[in-house]
């Protein structure tokens, strides 16, 4: 089973700050990486699907990069807003069947 | 636009009781899966199915059974509930194994 790690476990930022967090995964046999946003009392929702080394994806103020050779992905949030408060999950897949989820980074944006 | 529908949202069971968590999707997705989410841990895969009639074990299958008689439905059965099965359960579906997952609303289960 893949070991997928995320850091930090949690962080608090002020409204307007930019922030980033990390997802680490095994680089061998890499197939795909997904980022999800999970708001309290809701279901996780997909943010990005990334497959190629060097991939950069952007959705509004949120962007992600992927380095498959060294086994990490960064998620960036520019100008954090209170509505960005959520847990951000990454999930990595090798050439097997299933994605393995990291434990998540819980972001709190203080007004 | 129902997506993935899970029932119930909340459930309290006594140790030893059995129950079935229901999951249905209307997107004609082949791949369905069940996860449990515990504090400090990521979503852990319990069982999954790559199509009707096909199921397989995930990372933490003990104490759970599944079946996939139709493309739409993927129920999860707890055979004899234990306090260690207190968790939040999510059902998810995907069009294919490498595509993004669509999650149900979750079921918060407490076993006393």
Size of interface A-B (CB pairs under 8 A): 55
Asked if A86 and A75 touch (Cβ cutoff 8 Å), the reply is: no
Q: Residue B70: left if φ>0, alpha if ψ -120 to 50, beta else—which one?
A: beta
Question: Are the Cβ atoms of A42 and B105 closer than 8 angstroms?
Answer: yes
Asked whether the beta carbons of B50 and B41 are under 8 A apart, the reply is no
Q: How much is the average pLDDT of B80-91?
A: 97
Q: For residue A33, give the nearest of A102, A81, A82, A108 by alpha carbon.
A: A102
A2 — pLDDT class (breaks 50, 70, 90): confident
Q: What is the mean pLDDT of chain B?
A: 94
Q: What is the pLDDT of residue B72?
A: 97
- Under a CB-based contact definition with an 8 Å cutoff, are residues B76 and B64 in contact? yes
Which chain B residues have a beta carbon less than 8 Å from that of A99? 101
The encoded tokens of residue B49 equal: 């199915």
Strand-pairing partners, residue A11, are: A107
Q: Nearest residue on chain A to B98, judged by CA atoms?
A: A32
CA distances from A53 to A28, A70, A74, A104, B45 (A): 12, 10, 13, 22, 26
CA angle B75, B34, A26 (to 5 degrees): 160
The predicted-structure confidence for B29-66, as pLDDT tens digits, reads as follows 999 999 999 988 889 999 999 999 999 999 999 999 99
> Is residue B98 over pLDDT 80?
no
Any A CB within 8 A of B39 CB:
no
Which chain B residues contact residue A8 at CB under 8 A?
Answer: none
Through-space distance between the first and last CA atoms of chain B, rounded to whole angstroms: 36
Q: Model confidence over A35-86: pLDDT tens digits?
A: 999 998 899 999 999 999 999 999 999 999 999 999 999 999 999 999 999 9
* CB A101, CB B42: distance < 8 Å: yes
Answer whether A44 sits within 8 Å of B43, measured CB to CB: yes
- Between A63 and B99, the more confident residue is A63
């Amino acid at each position: 089973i893949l070991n997928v790690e995320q850091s930090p476990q949690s962080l608090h930022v002020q409204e307007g700050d930019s922030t980033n967090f990390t997802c680490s995964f095994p680089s061998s046999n890499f197939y795909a990486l997904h980022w999800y946003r999970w708001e309290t009392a809701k279901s996780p929702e997909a943010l990005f699907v990334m497959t190629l080394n060097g991939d950069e994806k952007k959705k509004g103020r949120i962007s992600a990069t992927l380095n498959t050779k060294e086994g990490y992905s960064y998620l960036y949030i520019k100008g954090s807003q209170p509505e960005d408060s959520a847990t951000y999950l990454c999930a990595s897949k090798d050439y097997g069947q299933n994605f393995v989820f990291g434990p998540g980074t819980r972001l709190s944006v203080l007004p | 636009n129902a997506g993935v529908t899970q029932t119930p949202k909340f459930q309290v069971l006594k140790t030893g009781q059995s129950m079935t968590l229901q999951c249905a999707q209307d997107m004609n997705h082949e791949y369905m899966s069940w996860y449990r989410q515990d504090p400090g841990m990521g979503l852990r895969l319990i069982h999954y199915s790559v199509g009707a009639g096909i199921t397989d074990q995930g990372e933490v299958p003990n104490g759970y059974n599944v079946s996939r008689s139709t493309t739409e439905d993927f129920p999860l059965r707890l055979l004899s509930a234990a306090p260690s099965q207190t968790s939040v359960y999510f059902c998810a579906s995907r069009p294919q194994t490498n595509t993004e997952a669509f999650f149900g609303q979750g079921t918060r289960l407490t076993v006393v």
